[in-house]
Structure formats: structure tokens, C-alpha cells
Amino acid sequence: MKKTGLLDLLAEQHRTFISNLRLLPELKWASLGDLYRMENKEKYPLKEWEEAVSYLLGCEVRFNNYEEIGKSL
């Protein structure tokens, strides 16, 4: 069974396509809030966090550790 990615998880939670998470401001900010509140952030690799947040914001984001995720969101 394939592990669900962060963007897949958000799209499923919001019952929409991944592209809408970025294109619709209310979904983008709700998704970023969901990521901020997510427990067990270590469940996903830092690279996946970088890709998901970068996609939502439309700019490149880098995290050196999991603590930075909460601080930047």
C-alpha cells in the first residue's frame, strides 16, 4: 500500500484536487493551518514538507529540522 503524501492528505481532507489547494486562497490558508497543527510531523520526511509548503506558497521553502516547520508556518 502506497503511503499518502502530505498534499494528497490535504486534498482528501478538503475534498478537492491538489491544484485547488494552491489556486484557491481559502483552501491554501486552511491547508497551511492544517499542516501547522499536524501532530507527528516526523511521520513525513523533511523533503516532503519542503515540497508541500513550497507548492502551496508558490516559492521555495527549506527546513533544516522539524522545529522550523512550526516556526515558519
Domain boundaries, the chain: 6-72
Q: pTM of whole model > 0.85? A: yes
Average pLDDT taken over every residue of the chain: 95
**48 vs 33: CA distance, rounded Å:** 17
**37 vs 27: CA distance, rounded Å:** 15
Residue pair 14/30 in contact by the 8 Å Cβ criterion: yes
Residue 1 pLDDT > 50: no
Average pLDDT over residues 36-54: 97
Residue pair 7/21 in contact by the 8 Å Cβ criterion: yes
Which residues, at least 6 apart from 14, have a Cβ–Cβ distance to it below 8 Å?
A: 20, 21, 27, 30, 31
